[in-house]
Structure 1
């Protein structure tokens, strides 16, 4: 249909030109008072249908895409090395490096990072080639010597509290529900003991929606912890998650010592209960 309309317009223009030429030829040499004027013929506009409107829109779209293609570099945003280095630095654990570094570990990490050395176009593997066998034996012997001296046993490792020690804390009013400070200490202790939060940062990252109050089929209440990214389970590896969600059940005869009771008291005194709010 489109081609037929365009062809009709072209034929109409050709006929108009032939007719004008014939008129000019016939009046040549005529000396009477009749004047002839060549008038411009208004060309009929082609009726705009849905097809023509779509074709016009497609032409405009192609022109816009051509301009955008010249300015854009693709579907992915390009980041510089400085931006990626900044991203890695922001997400790096600031505590691990200072706590786990030692002279022996630095030497071992150096061997691992360098691995290959080039000397006169010859490559040597620090971990495998016999040229560095003596260095490897010295390093292993030094590690064993330090271990025999009791080094590397993490003497500052925290010990878990026993029932008697928790009773002392409760008796002195350090944990409990009698005041805001004791209530906060109690909820912090329960989160660490029942949900396995190992460090300060795990508590800082914890959100209110991470802990859900649920009921069993028999009506017994319990808390379920939905763990986010932590130091040991950051999500970097596939399957880097807990196979079972930590849970703590109510103790019907524990009274104010019941972790469910402590959680409800803490929830009752919280200023906000939005799921994305900080837990503390």
Structure 2
């Protein structure tokens, strides 16, 4: 529960930071707004054609009684659109971060500078940063789909598909949404995507506390655009504490907005590549 509360707290801190820095808040809105318009158009088109897709995908039901045929195809159309919505939530952040990579990189750096210092730039060219981000996002999407696709078909199971499956879907989306958001600050530290996944797996509750509220909020039209700058800022704050030079995070106790604890081995890399604060750095 402590990690879960810590994740929510990081999300809140990030939103407060963005709102308190109006210039950077507006700076971070632009890529999210462009991506939102594209996704909204795609989902609207799918809603319009969902019934036709359902008829095409279920030819075996042509000979069924009209009532059962309508129920099956109606359920298929609804689940198809909900599956597309889930996929949109999973990919919205990745696409937005890719489109706005220079924007969010600068925003994330500014957050860390305001907290005491930013790790040194790895000195990679922009095209390499974009290529790395694209490859990492495709890897994350592939891992997410390994869970999302089975959940889609489990949605057809009575009762289970209307109760447990949606809850699991939100958790899957929240975890991988957090993974995408922390990638901005972790990539700056040279941490590969598989290592990021391992770190968050060790702190699932922390990732869910940060990501699930965002997933729920992203279901409301246009809210995703407004929350993206704060989400990137909150992820930078989360990574900063996870990768702290004094050994990272341990048992997950929240203290002064950070994550501390005792009795557990540190997670994630430590040392110059993973550190986030220069010696003597302080929070403002």
TM-score band, normalised by shorter chain: under 0.3
Q: Which has the higher strand share?
A: 1
Q: Which has the higher contact order (CA 8 A, sep 6+)?
A: 2
* TM-score (normalizing by structure 1): 0.21
Specify the structure having the higher radius of gyration (Cα).
Answer: 1
